[in-house]
Structure 1
Amino acid sequence: MIKRLLSLMLLCFLGTHVWSQNTTTILTGTIVNKEHEPLNGVNVVLKGTNYGASTNATGTFVINNIPEGNYILVISTIGYKTKQQSVTLHQKKQTINVSLEEDISMLNDVTISGKKSESYAKETVSSSLRLNEDLSKIPQNVQVVSGELLKDQQVFSIMDAITKNVSGAQMIEHWGWFARINMRGFRLPAFRNGMNVEMTWGPLAEDLSMVDRVEFVKGPAGFMMAAGQPGGFYNVVTKKPIKDTFANVSFATGSYNTYRGTIDVGSYAANGKLQFRLNVMTETADSHREYDNSSRFSVVPSIKYNITDNTSITTEFTLQKAKMKAGSAYVFAPASAGFGSLGRNFSAIDPAYPDMNVDEYNTFTNITHKLNDQWSVQAQYMYMNYNQEGATQWPASIADNGDLVRSVTSADALGTYNIAQLFVSGNFYTGTIEHKILAGFDFNEKRFWADWNQGGIIDTDHPFNIFNPTYGDVTMPVFDRAEDIKTRGASNGMGQTTRGYYVQDELSFLQDQLRVTLAGRYTVADMYSYGVPADANKFTPRFGVSYDVFPSLTVYGLYDESFYPQQGVKYINENTTAPLSPEDANDIEGGIKKSWFNNRLKTSLTIYKIKKKHMSTADYTNGVPTDDGGVSYPYSIEIGEVESKGIEFDMQGQITPELNVILNYANTDVEDNYGNKVAGFAKHITNGWLNYAFNSSSKLHGFGASVGYQYQVDRSSWNWGADNKSDLPDYFRMDGGVFWKYKTFDVRLNVNNLLNKYLYSGANYGTYVYWQAEPGRNFRLSLSYKF
């Protein structure tokens, strides 16, 4: 495979003269403000033609395949004066750089009349994904969930059904403070600002008050960032300082005694060289289940300092605190009773059940230096400390008559991260071929200690009957925390250190109409699980191609490999265990990306096939007796080769300036080499969301409404039924909302589960079933004010 890639690269270099006979040209450039800061979303159009583009996050634009000649370039965006400039195109590639002047009167008009509806469609990814390129040009399926969309849906945290905005993504289950999100049948690692922060339990799900956007990257490698799962990953991008003075405050309330307040303030000094921002959030809430309350708090200060025109440093500190009842969402019943045999408000926990307290803090620093107009280098570092203290509950036994013997064990854990990245990006030419280079080094060190070893049965006098529950008559275990968690959790300790070296070259032909991506990554990993050490290393190649059939229509193909050193051990005999083999996977996919209505609406269609080796799952044949009379299952087994294949469709953006739309569908099938379905996916998933805002010509200007749905067919979470078919019913949920915007006020009312359906996910374990029920019809009401 490596020889083929090298041969193809050599062929691309030798073929330079083939592309030199073109009579069209390419116009590129950068649009900035008077402080030389890049402007995103600026429209650049050749007057009287269909040729145009919009700038990305770095302020750059590219217009391809323009016939040579004289043109008038029109540059416009809200808040700045429109600029027209004559250009003569007579070279293979020409560059133009423009500075725009603010239009104060337009800014005032926008403030008075209310902010216009923002399109859900985004043309660029964040800088944390390392590629300064439009989404349509990237040979991979990447979906961006924008801040505007999250606001319209009144999303409070990552666990608030954020997956409904992306084809094929679904939240399988949760423990109250972190989510398990699957896509293409595999768990998605959690990234934050381009750094892999996934751990065994955690990290704490981000509160959306500090989030700018969430990016879902489908497929392996993820732009060379880290070893990971072949299904992809999701990247949470936090809000950063900007050159603006603002203050936003909001208050929200809702069902189940929900109360929430947020503050987002920012300003700048030294003529913009120093920028700072502060996000604060506090929230308390009950739930639809008895004895299940929670609270959260977060504070995120961040500073950006432009040392010179070419060098900047950004530092961010995040503190998140949460208190909840861990595992309170789980409901257990005998298999003979089946799913949903208890009311959705039923609680299996007791009033005496202890709280889970989670504290997480991290520091993140990024240094960016622009070497020249073509090349830049970035270095970033994150330290995270994750600490939880509390308990979890699971059944020791359950009888057909509903007698449940509940076991409560300690769930204290500590996780530490040290993550560093250094990468350089730039471009150069060999003849008429442009090379866009990305190269770098990743370091990721994670350590995790957990104390699951203490606990016991709480129903000591008589069982707790789920059909006739009596609360309060329990004996809660007392946990000994005299020793620190590293000592108590040494036997359950896990750790992993990975080092990755990568290089990627994107070659542009036919004046950037055709792009070929050649890349490779070498990963070295050292790890240990429950005292068993292991090491692994592998080279993984990447090959992609994308072609602009028309300026608004791109086709692409991709071959990629992933490498994931697994943490865990497999049972050999009563005296011997062995580390799990690393997971190897490859992905072959192709797709079509189409933009409509001057890039306001974007669609994509993807077909893929993933083959994965050495996938592991829990070993339920080799249990270990526990002190409370139950059995734990610390081992895993490898199930051989798994194949995931499917089709994905995504639509995102504006149909009209008033109407935003999200529409997606995924057909997914994951089986092992024996034809058995592998748990963790739904065969069919489709989601939709419509948001309509009345324009300034309407008497209802300022008002708007939203409606959306989620529909899942043939789904599983942790296992399939004995006949390899789903035990879970199909899932259908509708949500909606109304809003009113006036000057600096924004009022929103959202109602979730409009049809008041009994919705849940769960699994069948033979003798018993469990599920997690969602609340019935519920509401959220928010008021925000911008100073």
Structure 2
Amino acid sequence: MKKNLKSPLVVLLLLFHFVAFAQNGTIKGRITSADGQPAAYVSVGLKNKPQNTATDDNGNYILSKIKAGNYIIRVSAIGIATQEKNISINDGQTLELNFTLSENSQILKEVSVQAKKNAYKISTPDNSLRLNQPLLEAAQNIQSVSGQALKDQQIISMSDGVLRNVSGAMRTSHWGDLYTNVHMRGSQIQAMRNGFNFVNSFWGPLTEDMSIVDHLEFVKGPAGFMLSNGDPSGMYNVVTKKPTGLNKGEVSFTLGSFDLYRTAVDLDRKLTEDGKLLFRLNAAAQQKGSFRPNESNDRYSIAPVISYQLTHSTKFTAEYNLQRAQMTDVGSYYVFSTEGYLSLPRKFTYAPENLPKTNINDHSVFLNLIQNIGDQWKITAQTAYSKYLQTGSSLWPADVLTNGDVIRSVGIWDAESTMKLGQLFINGEVKTGGIKHRILAGFDIGKKDYMADWGQSHPLDLPSSPFNMYHPNLGYPPNGFPNFDRTTSLEARAIAAGGTMGQKYTAGYLQDELGFFNNRARLTLAARYTKASQYQWGGTSYSASKLTPRIGLSVSLDQNTAAYGVYDQAFLPQSGKLKDGGEVKPITGSNMEIGFKRDWADGKWNTTLSLYRILKQNELTADVQDPTFTYSVVLGEKVAKGIELDIKGELAKGLSLIANYAYTDAKITSAFPNSGFANNDLVPGYAKHTTNAWLSYTIQSGFLKDFGLNAGVTYLKDRTSFSYSATNPAYNMGDYTKVDAGLFWSKGPVKITANVFNVLNEYLYIGDYYTGYFSNNVYSWQAEAPRNYRFSIAYKF
């Protein structure tokens, strides 16, 4: 380990000893309304000087390259009382100035429609990530996907093209639209919602409908201070919509190919004249067909949120989310063949007409209390409760023969998930001499239980009357539809089927970010202690604990450029059954990373470049020699190394870009005996090269003013299936190229958007290769839609 640490520590030391030189000063801060809400798009500038900017979505601003001297800083916007303040600034100084706006009868009503010059770039993390600093200063690679990007790309769920906005992220095999399953840096990453880990089984939470989502945050690396336990590769955080303190609303209608009909409403209101009591309601309803016959995904969601400013320093927020889904059997996306990937038509399905649907009700409640203590300290207490209910089934073949005959089988999949989660943390700043301390401390607790009945199955076909993939008959199946026994409780059925799993954990953590040289160099020292117990597949519970340290350094090379280095560790308990009855050890891992961040053109766009090495040990994987799926084997040790580049923001007037590239080299460095893998095998389920771009341009003048064009591309090269083999090329998938394009027009409160997806009409897929499970070796894949269209019209009020 010392050898591995040598190079990163040298980089950290070099950064730490960076010597400050004389330079212009910086003014930054946060602007809030009288009720404590962030004031977005408020103008901030120096009176009679060219330095001007606007606050971002979180009310933060920064003015850079200011020569030493005396000035008047001016805060203004339509409908608010202008504020001015005399200031004095020195070379190299960073001056922090916060403002609280005085409300009038037009309080901020028109502010939200001001320039969108940072529509794709978010400068600060959500409070749920617990960081109290701009992203530019953090010793961490954090990439955000803004709400405006989600709208422009007509993304309607978490599984619907979100990942093109983040370097190195891709989706792997999945059960329909049940969950998203994001892989990044060589592993599946954790799914978070409002800072809570919402993973309660291998299949993750139900894919979030975008009607409830404000924006998304992808955190690269373990980030132990954000997780009680998690994968070393990182996580993504879904931030739901909250009241803003502005009286505004939006209604939208979307039509699309394959019978897509969707309506969404966003209502944001002050319930009291003083703005202390706020309310927001988001709701959506959709009917959605598919390019495959007999397949649908109908949903509705509703998310009321209420917040109350109890005192000037105390705020309480309560939020409820309901997502209801009725979808075709979740196994209908899978296709199987002995002849190779893409050997069947893209619209091929095994699902017969009138196969019973899967019904899901996903409830979640969030309670949040924020107590400010003076200007420098804040305590956050929050809790979450989730209840997930599923009644349905999964379609899977009992066998696949070389002549195309298949015995289709439907297995019951009734499930219930319950999560009770709590967090308490404190953020604050204090100075000791010339050192500025950003303190973060807190603890997490959680209890998760999942139970599922997988113990019943029903063959749709008979040996004497099989389904043939080359002459498919999707009518009433020869053996009829299943009639599962649900007379006993789900808990009793789950216990009998070995379908119970759960986890309890408690964790405490402490982090101190020490700022030197007027906060130009920031040294992070942190540690987390986690104790967890876990059971799985009906097995017995076991406990494990670990102290995970973290050290990082971020240095501002100038006002807009920062370099960082970080070393941290991760800890993730796991369960499974080993044939030899041995003890299952937790996953442990570490991350070493260096990177460079830069804001360009006064913060209108930014770039992030990172280089990393992740070590992961003790991970379990399925025993490829066990067709019953009962046992696991220890994969051993694997290492993921890579380079990631992200570009995001407004490059020129009306021209916005999201672009990224990732090179990922993930290999098994020490394969466990009898695991089915060998040293230097590539890690299953990732692409070595991932490239994405999304370009949006709004015409600024002339006859076509306010018209715009969108274009996007995703390219994946050197993809591995989920069960990769270095010796059998059948495991490897072809390259992936998807091109999208569209037009839009906006005028006043109206915006019309139309996009064409998969313009080149490529046969897009993700796949796997099975040996030992059926009587023959079988290819399996899930196809994406051919060329398709979406048209939306939105009205703001």
TM-score of the two chains, using structure 1 as the length reference:
0.91
Query: Is 2:206 the partner of 1:196?
Result: no
1:713 aligns with 2:714: no
Q: Match for 2:365: what amino acid?
A: T
Aligned ranges for residues 267-416 of structure 1 at < 5 Å? 267-270=269-272, 271-325=274-328, 326-334=330-338, 337-416=339-418
**What secondary structure sits across from 1:660 in the alignment?**
strand
Kept after mapping to 2: 8 A contact 1:464/1:470: yes
Shift of 1:93: 6.7
Contact 1:506 1:515 in 2 (8 A): yes
List per-residue Cα deviations over 1:88-124 (Å, max 9, x = no partner): 236977554434567999989889x996565311111
**Residue 610 (structure 1) shift:** 0.4
Match of 1:218 in 2: 220
Residue 284 of structure 1: how far off its partner (Å):
0.8
User: 51-60 or 527-536: which moved more?
Assistant: 51-60
Contact 1:533–1:579 (CA under 8 A) maintained in structure 2: no
Q: CA deviation at 1:354?
A: 1.9
For 1:532, the equivalent position in structure 2 comes to 540
Distance 2:554 2:52 in 1: 20
The 5 Å alignment of 1:623-662 reads 623=627, 632-662=628-658
Whether 2:758 is the aligned partner of 1:782: answer: no
Alignment deviations for residues 56-94 of structure 1 (CA, whole Å, 9 cap, x no partner)? 666455668966532343445676576554322369775
Matched, 1:174 2:174: yes
Q: CA deviation at 1:53?
A: 7.2
Equivalent residues in 2 for 1:289-688 (5 A)?
289-325=292-328, 326-334=330-338, 337-460=339-462, 461-471=464-474, 472-475=476-479, 476-490=481-495, 491-529=498-536, 530-572=538-580, 577-578=581-582, 580-623=584-627, 632-673=628-669, 674-688=679-693
Partner of 1:761: 766
Offset, 1:657:
2.4
**C-alpha spacing 1:413/1:771, structure 2 compared with 1 (3 Å):** same
Contact 2:118 2:604 in 1 (8 A): no
The 10-residue stretch of structure 1 (403-412 or 208-217) with the greater mean CA deviation from structure 2: 403-412
Kept after mapping to 2: 8 A contact 1:708/1:735: yes
Q: C-alpha distance in 1, partners of 2:262/2:162? A: 19
TM-superposed CA distance for 1:32, in Å, is: 3.2
Secondary structure of residue in 2 paired with 1:209: helix
2-structure distance, mates of 1:95, 1:712: 44
Which digits, 9 at most, give the CA deviation of each residue in 1:469-516, with x for residues without a partner?
122233223210011111110122111011110010001111111101
Secondary structure at the aligned position of 2:607 is classed as strand
Find the residue that maps to 1:174 and give its secondary structure: coil
Whether the aligned pair in 1 keeps the contact of 2:650 and 2:656 (CA below 8 Å) is yes
CA contact (8 A) 2:437 2:514 kept: yes
Report % sequence identity: 39
Superposition deviation, residue 359 in structure 1: 0.8
Q: Please state how far the C-alpha of 1:269 moved relative to its aligned partner.
A: 2.3
| 8 Å contact from structure 2 (residues 224, 528) kept in 1 | no
Contact 2:608/2:646 (CA < 8 Å) preserved in 1?
Answer: yes
Residue pair 1:721, 1:764 contacting (<8 A) in 2 also: no
Alignment of 1:109-120 (within 5 A): 116=116, 118-120=118-120
Secondary structure, in 3 states, of the residue corresponding to 1:587? Answer: strand
**Partner deviation per Cα, 1:727-778 (whole Å, 9 max, x = no partner):** 2110000011111112222211111000111111101224000000011100
Write the letter of the residue equivalent to 2:645. Answer: F
Distance in 1 between residues matched to 2:446 and 2:391, nearest whole Å: 25
Offset at residue 173 of structure 1 (A): 2.0
How far apart in 2 are the matches of 1:431 and 1:21? 21
1:736 aligned to 735, 738, 741, which one?
A: 741
Q: Residue 250 of structure 1: SS of its match in structure 2?
A: strand
Distance (Å, rounded) in 1 between the aligned partners of 2:232 and 2:200: 17
- CA pair 702-118 structure 1, distance change in 2 beyond 3 A: farther
Q: Distance in 2 between matches of 1:96 and 1:294?
A: 50
Structure-1 residue corresponding to 2:251: 249
- SS of the aligned residue for 1:299 comes to strand
Alignment equivalent of 1:701, drawn from 701, 705, 709: 705
Aligned to 2:774: none
Q: Separation in 2 of the partners of 1:733 and 1:276?
A: 40
Secondary structure of the residue aligned to 1:570 is coil
Counterpart of 2:697 in structure 1 is: 692
Greater shift, 725-734 or 324-333, is seen at 725-734
Q: Residues 41 and 641 (structure 1 numbering): CA distance in 2 closer, same or farther, change over 3 Å?
A: farther
Q: What is the CA–CA distance in structure 2 between the aligned matches of 1:599 and 1:216, rounded to whole Å?
A: 20
2: CA distance between counterparts of 1:543 and 1:684? 29
- Pairwise CA distance, 1:705: 1.2
Contact residue 576 and residue 620 of structure 2 kept, 8 A: no
Q: Distance in 1 between matches of 2:301 and 2:106?
A: 37
Which stretch of the first structure deviates more once superposed, 48-57 or 188-197?
Answer: 48-57
SS at match of 1:199: coil
In structure 2, the CA distance between the partners of 1:47 and 1:508, relative to structure 1 (3 Å rule), is farther
Greater shift in the superposed pair: 684-693 or 457-466? 457-466
Structure 1 residues 243 and 769, CA, compared in 2 at 3 Å: closer, same or farther?
Answer: same
Inter-partner Cα distance in structure 2 for 1:247 and 1:333:
50
Shift, 1:454, TM fit: 0.3
Structure 1 residues 94 and 669: alpha-carbon distance in aligned structure 2, compared to 1, 3 A threshold: closer
Report the Cα offset of residue 38 of structure 1: 3.5
Q: Distance in 1 between matches of 2:344 and 2:20?
A: 72
Q: Distance in 2 between matches of 1:651 and 1:268?
A: 36
Task: Supply the distance in 1 between the matched residues of 2:546 and 2:63 (Cα, whole angstroms).
Answer: 39
Letter in 2 for 1:361: H
Q: Structure 1 residues 116, 653: CA separation in 2 closer, same or farther (over 3 Å shift)?
A: closer
Query: Does the Cα contact within 8 Å between 1:114 and 1:742 map onto a contact in 2?
Result: no
CA distance in 1, matches of 2:59, 2:297: 43
Match of 2:732, SS state, is coil
Tell me which residue corresponds to 2:124: 124
Q: Secondary structure at the match of 1:388?
A: strand
Q: Measure the CA separation in 2 of the matches of 1:459 and 1:314.
A: 53
Structure 2: 5+ residue stretches without partners: 6-11, 670-678, 772-776
Query: In 1, are the aligned partners of 2:132 and 2:427 still within 8 Å (CA)?
Result: no
Amino acid in the other structure paired with 2:598 = K
- SS in structure 2 at match of 1:223: helix
After superposition, give the CA deviation of every residue in 1:218-242 in whole Å (9 maximum; x if it has no partner): 1002533321001111110000012
Residue 567 (structure 1) shift: 3.0
d(CA) in 2 for partners of 1:717, 1:180: 14
Which aligned pairs between 1:54-93 and structure 2 lie closer than 5 A? 55=55, 59=59, 68-75=68-75, 85-89=85-89
Change (3 A) 1:52 1:613: farther
Aligned residues, how many?
A: 759
SS of alignment partner, residue 272 of structure 1:
coil
Moved more, 74-83 or 143-152: 74-83
Q: What is the TM-score when the length of structure 2 is the normalising length?
A: 0.90
Paired residue for 1:8? none
CA distance in 1, matches of 2:599, 2:665: 28
Equivalent position SS for 1:149? helix
